[in-house]
């Protein structure tokens, strides 16, 4: 078959390849930002008044390598507590005379009930150890409002916990050292809480909040956590009110926060100590800051010190020290009694603000009151624009007809966005019908983008291909303008209206992530002005005028790639531990979820371009090329194994006991489970040594195996927070 291209095809391919290069450069920058490759860690000989990642890593090495596992009941937990306390005592010895250092080993006991993933759970705990350090000026009082910084030193079962949360403890130890060695005397007390029981349902923080004498003095807190080995250290929760996020925006050296994360975090099956400080046992203003990436090793035996992503702890430490100083020096820092007396008159009760960082370079912050005004502007412009364009020369009727065409453009753009999500999902299902295993992209996330992005782009372009010229309600003879120009106008303002409507919907729903669509709609306005001006000397049907449209959108598109790419990478890393539904449908769920997420990211990153660039991209030759590219990526991905040393498959072996009461064991068994869609059969086929160790022959099948109850498994392994795949029982 001979492909014949006309001049517009050639121009379309030139634009496509130019955009591919542009997005490739954006992706390179975003990848460097996400994995903190632009941050240079300071060495062991760094100035004493600077945070040093190298010094902090030495603490991580002791905790994760020399001590190792640190679960309740394991001797490593006690060793870790002694190590932390010894380090703090050494710092106390060299503290100046104008500073007071108080160190406590606090043993807590108690009981409480909580709601977790829709289940009511009751706890009774005894003799758990927290280590505390309080740093204050020599003339401070115990009632002075203080700043709490919290990190846990226990680990989940079987994990050395270098990142989660040896890195957090090491960061706090280095912060304590800086305060003492730099000579800075905090104007308000700083409390460092090293709690010994977070993994066992936040027991250490609960014990502190229920029993400790310093709890009522806390005016703000920072909870430091890790759900991976580094990368972006994102503010995932903040509040109550907007003050904590405002302090962060003003003080963070490398801002890594966006209010959309607070819309997403509640749907993630997990919790942190933030809950104890800000929700369940206090209403203290605070921040929940979490390492997001490197999640392949989260709660795993591979969470070792050599897996820590360079630069991540440096960024965290620099941010943390700056935030601690900002909170301690803030006039709004109040203890519990002062907050209660101020009540509604204080900023603590403000609604959540809108904020986001731009590639960690700077941060934009504005209150919800400003958002109510600002985020209403795009929809107002959309509704007013037909009247501004037509009222003076053509009358009221023409204005309403123009608005009707704009709505048509909005519907077509929304259809394209939906198809950009649906097409990759269909493609992923078709791929699995011809594949023996799923999740080929798990160890190589770029495969997900290679497979699904071209197919998603086809979905975006389909409405433009079907309707080369928008079915207009306006009378071309009256307006004396070409159908193509009116179609482009309606498509642009329809796309603009789509993002404006989403911005308004975010606002009315009470979410704070509307900045994403607001940024898109504001950038599209600038791009339209640039495009409109360029038409005068480039012409309407010119690639050069299209370039003038693209250039003002680059900052917005880069941010969309940043947000969308981070979202896809986070889900890919976490999907290996999220469990699965039983076969056969459970086999498809991870691929469908990632395909849909890539589709959303593609629609978000490319959507603002389509109304104008679609003139050149919605060509049958380009659609065929994109389809072939997706199929080639599909074939290429089938050559990749889903797992690697850096992205291992999680397998759980547990010894389960069924009891009638505290003293009577009714039954016991060894249970094996996997926690992703590639089942036990996949494991036995590709790891025959496992089958040999468990004495499983080639005749094994789910039909004849002894299956464990999901309920029993979840009770024993509630850390995993998800319905697991079918379990195979070996008694």
Q: What would the pLDDT profile of 32-46 be if each residue is shown by its tens digit?
A: 999 999 999 999 999
| Model confidence at 360: pLDDT above 90 | yes
Per-residue pLDDT band for 584 (boundaries 50, 70, 90) equals confident
Per-residue model confidence as pLDDT tens digits over 101-117: 999 999 999 998 888 77
Delimit the domains of the chain by residue range.
Answer: 7-34+371-638, 53-359, 651-718
Closest to 648 measured CA to CA, from 159, 234, 225: 159
Whether 254 has a pLDDT exceeding 90, the answer reads yes
Q: How far is it, in rounded angstroms, from Cα 173 to Cα 196?
A: 15
* Predicted local distance difference test score (pLDDT) of residue 721: 34
**What pLDDT score does 1 carry?**
46
Using pLDDT thresholds of 50, 70 and 90, give the confidence band for residue 720.
very low
Show the tokens assigned to 553. Answer: 């959108």
Residues 6 or more apart in contact with residue 195 via CB below 8 angstroms: 130, 150, 151, 152, 153, 154, 204, 205, 207, 208, 273
Would the pLDDT of 561 be above 60?
yes
Q: What is the pLDDT of residue 342?
A: 77
- Rounded to whole angstroms, how far apart are CA atoms 2 and 19? 26
pLDDT level of residue 521 (50, 70, 90 thresholds)? very high
| Average pLDDT for the chain | 89
Asked whether the predicted pLDDT for residue 190 surpasses 80, the reply is yes
Q: Which residues, at least 6 apart from 428, have a Cβ–Cβ distance to it below 8 Å?
A: 451, 452, 588, 591, 592, 594, 595
Residue 660 in this model has a pLDDT that exceeds 60: yes
- Lowest average pLDDT, out of 347-361, 368-382, 610-624, goes to 347-361
Nearest residue to 727 (alpha-carbon basis) of 667, 640, 654: 654
Q: Higher model confidence: residue 135 or residue 394?
A: 135
Q: What is the mean pLDDT of residues 165-178?
A: 97
What mean pLDDT is predicted for residues 365-371? 92
The pLDDT tens digits of the residues spanning 399-433 come to 999 999 999 999 999 999 999 999 999 999 999 98
pLDDT confidence tier of residue 714, bands split at 50, 70 and 90? low
pLDDT tens digit sequence for 269-280: 778 999 999 988
- Give me the pLDDT at residue 726, please: 31
pLDDT digits (tens, 9 = 90+) for 195-212: 999 998 899 999 999 999
Q: What is the mean pLDDT of residues 441-469?
A: 93
More confident residue, 521 or 118: 521
pLDDT at 712 over 80: no
| 312/39 Cα distance (integer angstroms) | 8
**Cα–Cα distance between 522 and 183 in angstroms, integer?**
47
Spatial distance between the Cα atoms of 353 and 360, rounded to a whole number of angstroms = 18
Q: What burial letters (b/e) apply to 494-506, b meaning 16+ CB within 10 Å?
A: bbbbbbbbbbbeb
The encoded tokens of residue 75 equal 């001797």
- Mean pLDDT for 479-495 is 88
pLDDT tier for residue 349 given thresholds of 50, 70 and 90 = low
> Three-class SS of residue 631?
helix
Of 3-12, 231-240, 448-457, which range is least confident?
A: 3-12
Q: How confident is the model at residue 727 (pLDDT cuts 50, 70, 90)?
A: very low
pLDDT for position 713: 52
Q: Which two tokens stand for residue 469?
A: 């010229």
The 3-state secondary structure of 35-87, one letter per residue: CCCCCCCCCCCCCCCCCCHHHHHHHHHHHHHHHCCCCCCCHHHHHHHHHHHHH
pTM of the model: 0.91
Q: What is the mean pLDDT of residues 233-241?
A: 92
User: Quick one: pLDDT at residue 346?
Assistant: 52
- pLDDT exceeds 60 at position 731: no
Is the backbone peptide bond immediately before 522 cis, with ω within 30 degrees of 0? Answer: no
**What is the structure's pLDDT at 657?**
80
Give the count of beta carbons closer than 10 Å to the beta carbon of residue 312. Answer: 27
Mean pLDDT, rounded, for 164-175: 96
Please list the helix, strand and coil fractions of the chain in percent, rounded to the nearest 5, in that order.
55, 15, 30
| pLDDT at res. 709 | 63
What was the pLDDT predicted at 376?
Answer: 95
Amino acid 719: pLDDT: 37
Pick the CATH number of 53-359 from 3.40.630.10, 3.30.465.10, 2.120.10.30, 1.10.3720.10: 3.40.630.10
Mean pLDDT across 543-548: 90
715 pLDDT more than 50: no
Neighbouring C-beta atoms of residue 8, cutoff 10 Å: 14
Among 245-254, 520-529, 647-656, whose mean pLDDT is lowest? 647-656
CA distance 525 to 530: 9
Backbone φ and ψ for 391, nearest 5 degrees, come out as: -60, -45
| Cβ atoms 197, 125 nearer than 8 A | yes
pLDDT value for 729: 35
pLDDT over 90 for what percent of the chain? 66
């Amino acid at each position: 078959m001979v492909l014949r291209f006309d001049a517009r095809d050639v121009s379309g391919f030139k634009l496509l390849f130019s955009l591919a290069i542009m997005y490739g450069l954006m992706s390179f920058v975003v990848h460097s930002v996400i994995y903190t490759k632009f941050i240079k860690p300071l060495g062991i000989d760094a100035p004493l008044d600077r945070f040093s990642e190298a010094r902090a890593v030495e603490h991580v090495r002791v905790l994760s390598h020399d001590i190792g596992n640190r679960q309740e009941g394991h001797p490593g937990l006690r060793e870790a507590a002694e190590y932390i306390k010894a380090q703090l005592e050494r710092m106390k010895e060299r503290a100046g005379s104008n500073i007071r250092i108080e160190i406590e080993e606090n043993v807590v006991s108690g009981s409480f009930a909580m709601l977790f993933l829709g289940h009511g759970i009751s706890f009774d705990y005894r003799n758990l150890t927290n280590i505390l350090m309080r740093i204050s000026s020599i003339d401070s009082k115990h009632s002075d409002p203080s700043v709490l910084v919290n990190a846990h030193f226990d680990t989940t079962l079987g994990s050395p916990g270098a990142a989660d949360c040896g890195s957090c403890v090491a960061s706090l130890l280095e912060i304590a050292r800086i305060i003492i060695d730099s000579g800075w005397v905090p104007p308000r007390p700083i409390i460092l809480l090293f709690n010994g029981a977070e993994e066992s349902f936040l027991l250490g923080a609960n014990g502190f909040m229920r029993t400790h004498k310093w709890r009522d003095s806390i005016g703000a807190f920072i909870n430091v956590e890790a759900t991976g080995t580094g990368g972006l250290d994102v503010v995932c929760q903040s509040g109550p009110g907007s003050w904590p996020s405002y302090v962060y925006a003003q003080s963070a050296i490398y801002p890594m926060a966006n209010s959309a994360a607070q819309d997403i975090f509640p749907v993630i099956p997990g919790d942190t100590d933030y809950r104890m400080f800000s929700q369940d046992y206090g209403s203290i203003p605070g921040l929940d800051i979490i390492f997001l990436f490197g999640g392949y090793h989260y709660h795993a035996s591979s969470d070792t010190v050599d897996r820590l992503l360079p630069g991540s702890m440096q960024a965290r430490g620099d941010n943390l020290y700056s935030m601690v100083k900002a909170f301690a020096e803030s006039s709004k820092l109040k203890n519990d009694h002062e907050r209660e007396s101020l009540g509604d008159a204080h900023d603590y009760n403000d609604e959540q603000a809108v904020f986001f960082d731009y590639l960690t370079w700077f941060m934009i912050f504005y209150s919800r009151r400003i958002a109510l005004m600002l985020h209403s502007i795009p929809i107002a412009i959309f509704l007013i624009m037909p009247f501004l364009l037509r009222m003076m020369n053509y009358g009221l009727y023409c204005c309403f007809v123009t608005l009707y065409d704009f709505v048509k453009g909005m519907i077509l753009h929304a259809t394209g966005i939906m198809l950009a999500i649906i097409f990759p999902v269909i493609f992923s299902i078709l791929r699995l019908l011809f594949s023996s295993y799923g999740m080929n992209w798990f160890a190589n996330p770029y495969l997900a983008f290679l497979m699904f992005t071209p197919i998603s782009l086809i979905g975006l372009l389909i409405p433009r291909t079907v309707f080369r010229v928008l079915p207009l309600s306006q009378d071309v003879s009256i307006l004396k303008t070409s159908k193509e120009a009116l179609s482009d106008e309606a498509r642009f303002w329809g796309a603009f209206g789509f993002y404006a409507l989403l911005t308004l919907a975010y606002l009315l729903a009470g979410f704070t992530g509307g900045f994403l669509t607001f940024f898109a709609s504001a950038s599209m306005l600038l791009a339209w002005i640039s495009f409109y001006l360029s038409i005068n000397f480039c012409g309407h049907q010119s690639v050069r005028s299209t370039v003038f449209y693209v250039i003002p959108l680059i900052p917005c598109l880069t941010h969309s790639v940043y947000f969308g790419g981070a979202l896809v990478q986070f889900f890919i890393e976490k999907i290996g531990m999220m469990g699965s539904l039983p076969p056969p449908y459970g086999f498809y769920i991870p691929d469908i979820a990632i395909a849909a997420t890539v589709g959303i990211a593609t629609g978000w990153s490319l959507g603002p371009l389509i109304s104008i660039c679609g003139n050149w991209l919605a060509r049958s030759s380009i659609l065929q090329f994109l389809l072939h590219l997706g199929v080639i990526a599909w074939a290429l991905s089938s050559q990749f194994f889903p797992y690697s040393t850096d992205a291992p498959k999680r397998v759980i072996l547990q010894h389960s006991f069924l009891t009638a009461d505290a003293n009577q064991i009714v039954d016991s068994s060894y249970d094996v489970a996997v926690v992703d869609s590639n089942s036990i059969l996949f494991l036995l086929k590709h790891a025959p040594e496992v089958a040999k160790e468990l004495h499983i022959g080639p005749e094994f099948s789910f039909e004849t195996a002894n299956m464990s109850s999901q309920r029993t498994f979840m009770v024993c392994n509630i850390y995993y927070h998800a319905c697991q795949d079918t379990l195979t029982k070996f008694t």
